[in-house]
Structure 1
Amino acid sequence: MEEQELEEDKIDRKPKRRLYLLVLLVIPIAIFLAVMVKLSDRYGQFDSYEVISHFDISKSSTLNYTEFNGGLVSYSQDGASYLDAEGVAVWNEAYDMQSPKVRMAGQRLLIYDTKGTTMKVLSPEKEEGEIQTNLPIVRADVAADGTVAAMMQEADTGYLNVYKANGTQIAQGQVHLSKSGYPMDLAISEDGKRLAVSMASVKKGVLSATINIYDFSEAGEGKRDNLVATFQYGDSLCPEIEFFSDGSLVAYSNHKIHLIDASSEPKEEETIRVKQEIKSVMTGEQTLGFITDNEDSTARYLHVYSQSGKEKYKKKLDIGYTQCRFLTDEEILITNKENLRVYNKLGGVRFSYDFTDGITAFLPTEGRQEYLLIYEDQCERIKIQ
């Protein structure tokens, strides 16, 4: 009787062992396939696409486009509108601007009038506020909470104002151009706590750049005008500055890129020296890129670095370009409206396509392998393949 029970127990265990072995075999295969799909999605090469959906848009040569919260913002001198990812109108804002510019941070969009006096702060749902200034705006930027920094100018005096989204002024300062120099750019950190200003001046016939960093958190309390750091760069200008997502700063000049940390007492962490002249620059969340010619100007190269100054890759471009920008922190767009290349984080060509009819814009979405393709009168949501 006992022998029979032992035999039955052995028989019962065999299917369980088979199931156990099957599970051990299936799980690694499933993990492997999932990893391969993810790698293909991130590093695969695509040269065609399918149209998932499309919708009509206003045909106008004066319209500009930008991606916002996975949807599409179109803006011109007369106003701006926002369509969600399905092409449904969310808001339409009228204004009168002669030269509208756009800045974004998180869920906030800023539209301001260069040399005008109007600024609009918008979210994906609605207008957050309108700001009217007394003097013409030279530059402006927005933080993720809607805080706006604006640089204005009157005669030989520059004015730096910081506003809440509803237009309430929360900080102000003056810059005397004859002493401090001419303002070239400003940037506000994503959290709205830091403001950086790049100035240009000529001393004894030599151009030089000055970058001031102001801190409106506890780190700047007790500091005169909240100024926590000043950087001087002789024989160069820094016409463009940007904050990374962690509050560190990048400043671009013709042959150098200065990287300044986000500590309470900012200091320069690294300087990237570039032999050829820098033609174009772009800044991501934690990455920067720039384009140079080679020595005989017969080819152009894309260079990508981490925010700490480590080179990620250098890539020879096979097309001319009218636009270069980060689509995401892992993707860079190079296009001339007819030829388009998207590079991944390793420098490989993620998507390559040549259009018979020129495109107006190519924008990222929140969908996997999906983008917005903008023509003059139509928007297509596509999936690359």
Structure 2
Amino acid sequence: MPKELTMKDKLYRHGLAKTVTILMMIAVLVAAVAMIRIYIEGKHYSQFEVVDTFNKVGAETSSFRDYQGNLLVYSNDGVSAYNTKGKQLWNKTYEMQSPIVKVKGNYVACADYKGGRIYVMDENGPACEIETNMPVIDLNLSEKGVVAATLQEDKITWIKVYSSEGVEISEIKTTMEKSGYPIATAISADNVKLGVSCLKPQGSGVSTSVAFYNFGDVGQNETDHLVSGKDFEGSMIPFLEYAGNDNAIAISEDRFMIYKGKEKPALEEEIELKEEVKSVFYSENYVALVFNNTESEQAYRMDLYDMSGKQMFSYVFDMEYHNVLIRNDYVLVYNEEEVIILDKKGKEKYNGNMGGNIVSIVPTETKWKFLIVRSDEIEVIKLY
């Protein structure tokens, strides 16, 4: 005769059944989310719709940049920031002949080539002005607003570092005879590490020295704060940038290098390049190198690498590109009419004509929604 279930048994079975039901529902939900994600990641967009339009901002000669999902507009007369609705966020006027403009995070730094003043702006507008007392040859910027200015004084070239308040923090003296001429600088996101690429003559050729300085506690015990460095004979390294806090990238005509280190950057990856690099684009996590393509009919080849030196994809294309934008999950290539969007595997998400007179494209905070800056107006478009 079957044993009669007690109340405790019934409650146990009921609870177990309920638990199994919940687990099954969770499994179905996870599977549904996974399927949706696979669908979205594999989807190819073929069309777009204009969801908003507003009058173009800036002058005819203005240049446009992405500014944290907003629009940065600058010219010889000033610099301004606008949101995706065309509302001005801030403005700074100046007069320059050949403005040098750097953007990192919420900060913008502007200086006239061979001028003597640097303007620094943050998300609220003008933050400080720096009087250099020497001509500005180049400048760079950290994500926290620290400025590295390359300044010329007769046969001496200075690299002076200023805080986001405009206070001089440190300086490096260079001469062609001893250290070489600085052709690139890079500042880490924590404002502590400074990378410098110096070109110097060597016999009938040249060599480049890539050196890193630490202005924090670790560098206090080192001569001139120098914590690491290496000479590259026969090479010119005009590209040196920090991608985030602990990764720096350096690129010459024949090699791509990744430096890593929280305190003392060291060369971790060195990739030989068979062709000369035509263009370099980077984000915090990726580097895109564009080459003239010699192996097929398409004009260009773009290789995407992550910060470990792993090649994510190689993509060939014919478009005469104007710019390349890298985001966490896609790469966007565009010119005055055409746009190509690739995922991180090199698969096309979009490839088509978006109309003429494109001056700049700015990704918004909404995925697959972009600001299209045209010569006569600005559109907000969405892919579908």
TM-score, normalising length: structure 1: 0.90
Q: Is the counterpart of residue 107 in structure 1 residue 102 in structure 2?
A: no
Q: Is the 8 A contact 1:97 1:118 kept in 2?
A: no
The 10-residue stretch of structure 1 (261-270 or 76-85) with the greater mean CA deviation from structure 2:
261-270
Query: How many residues matched?
Result: 381
Q: 2: CA distance between counterparts of 1:298 and 1:331? A: 25
Q: Is the counterpart of residue 76 in structure 1 residue 71 in structure 2?
A: no
Per the alignment, do residues 152 and 41 of structure 1 end up closer, same or farther by CA in structure 2, a change over 3 Å counting? Answer: farther
Which residue type is aligned with residue 315 of structure 1?
A: Y
Deviation for aligned residue 1:42:
4.5
Deviation for aligned residue 1:14:
12
Segments of structure 1 that go 5 or more residues without pairing to the other structure are: none
Aligned to 2:379: 380
Which residue type is aligned with residue 380 of structure 2?
A: R
Deviation for aligned residue 1:52:
2.3
Aligned to 1:256: 255
Per the alignment, do residues 314 and 73 of structure 1 end up closer, same or farther by CA in structure 2, a change over 3 Å counting? Answer: same
Deviation for aligned residue 1:263:
4.3
Deviation for aligned residue 1:104:
2.3
Aligned to 2:117: 118
Aligned to 2:172: 173
Deviation for aligned residue 1:164:
1.3
Superposition pairs for residues 177-188 of structure 1, below 5 Å? Answer: 177-188=176-187
Q: 2: CA distance between counterparts of 1:333 and 1:115? A: 34
Q: Is the 8 A contact 2:51 2:379 kept in 1?
A: yes
Per the alignment, do residues 178 and 12 of structure 1 end up closer, same or farther by CA in structure 2, a change over 3 Å counting? Answer: closer
Per the alignment, do residues 51 and 171 of structure 1 end up closer, same or farther by CA in structure 2, a change over 3 Å counting? Answer: same
Which residue type is aligned with residue 90 of structure 2?
A: W
Superposition pairs for residues 1-385 of structure 1, below 5 Å? Answer: 23-58=22-57, 60-295=59-294, 298-299=297-298, 300-326=300-326, 328-385=327-384
Q: 2: CA distance between counterparts of 1:377 and 1:294? A: 34
Q: Is the 8 A contact 1:41 1:369 kept in 2?
A: no
SS at match of 2:64: strand
The 10-residue stretch of structure 1 (98-107 or 219-228) with the greater mean CA deviation from structure 2:
98-107
Deviation for aligned residue 1:381:
1.8
Q: 2: CA distance between counterparts of 1:95 and 1:226? A: 35
Which residue type is aligned with residue 271 of structure 1?
A: E
Which residue type is aligned with residue 254 of structure 1?
A: E
Which residue type is aligned with residue 307 of structure 2?
A: Q
Q: 1: CA distance between counterparts of 2:178 and 2:11? A: 91
Per the alignment, do residues 343 and 27 of structure 1 end up closer, same or farther by CA in structure 2, a change over 3 Å counting? Answer: same
Q: Is the 8 A contact 1:59 1:376 kept in 2?
A: no
Per the alignment, do residues 209 and 93 of structure 1 end up closer, same or farther by CA in structure 2, a change over 3 Å counting? Answer: same
The 10-residue stretch of structure 1 (89-98 or 27-36) with the greater mean CA deviation from structure 2:
27-36
The 10-residue stretch of structure 1 (31-40 or 314-323) with the greater mean CA deviation from structure 2:
31-40
The 10-residue stretch of structure 1 (109-118 or 336-345) with the greater mean CA deviation from structure 2:
109-118
**How large is the RMSD of aligned CA atoms in angstroms?**
2.7
Deviation for aligned residue 1:356:
3.3
Q: 2: CA distance between counterparts of 1:121 and 1:349? A: 38
Per the alignment, do residues 119 and 59 of structure 1 end up closer, same or farther by CA in structure 2, a change over 3 Å counting? Answer: closer
Q: Is the 8 A contact 2:257 2:269 kept in 1?
A: yes
Q: 2: CA distance between counterparts of 1:72 and 1:83? A: 5
Per the alignment, do residues 224 and 364 of structure 1 end up closer, same or farther by CA in structure 2, a change over 3 Å counting? Answer: same
Q: Is the 8 A contact 1:130 1:165 kept in 2?
A: no
SS at match of 1:220: helix
Per the alignment, do residues 341 and 12 of structure 1 end up closer, same or farther by CA in structure 2, a change over 3 Å counting? Answer: same
SS at match of 2:265: coil
Summarize deviations over 1:330-367 as a string: whole Å, max 9, x none: 32222222111122211112222213312011111111
Q: Is the 8 A contact 2:56 2:377 kept in 1?
A: yes
Which residue type is aligned with residue 46 of structure 2?
A: D
Per the alignment, do residues 331 and 115 of structure 1 end up closer, same or farther by CA in structure 2, a change over 3 Å counting? Answer: farther
Summarize deviations over 1:57-104 as a string: whole Å, max 9, x none: 236331111121221111111011111233221111111122223322
Per the alignment, do residues 252 and 224 of structure 1 end up closer, same or farther by CA in structure 2, a change over 3 Å counting? Answer: same
Which residue type is aligned with residue 292 of structure 2?
A: D
Q: Is the 8 A contact 2:363 2:371 kept in 1?
A: yes
SS at match of 1:32: helix
SS at match of 1:144: coil
The 10-residue stretch of structure 1 (290-299 or 213-222) with the greater mean CA deviation from structure 2:
290-299
Q: Is the 8 A contact 1:73 1:83 kept in 2?
A: yes
Q: Is the 8 A contact 2:100 2:138 kept in 1?
A: no
The 10-residue stretch of structure 1 (161-170 or 259-268) with the greater mean CA deviation from structure 2:
259-268
Q: 2: CA distance between counterparts of 1:18 and 1:222? A: 67
Per the alignment, do residues 25 and 224 of structure 1 end up closer, same or farther by CA in structure 2, a change over 3 Å counting? Answer: same
Q: Is the 8 A contact 1:59 1:377 kept in 2?
A: no
Segments of structure 2 that go 5 or more residues without pairing to the other structure are: none
Deviation for aligned residue 1:116:
2.0
Q: 2: CA distance between counterparts of 1:97 and 1:38? A: 49
Per the alignment, do residues 297 and 202 of structure 1 end up closer, same or farther by CA in structure 2, a change over 3 Å counting? Answer: farther
Q: 2: CA distance between counterparts of 1:196 and 1:11? A: 71
Which residue type is aligned with residue 178 of structure 1?
A: E
User: Percent of aligned positions with the same letter in both sequences?
Assistant: 27
Which residue type is aligned with residue 245 of structure 1?
A: G
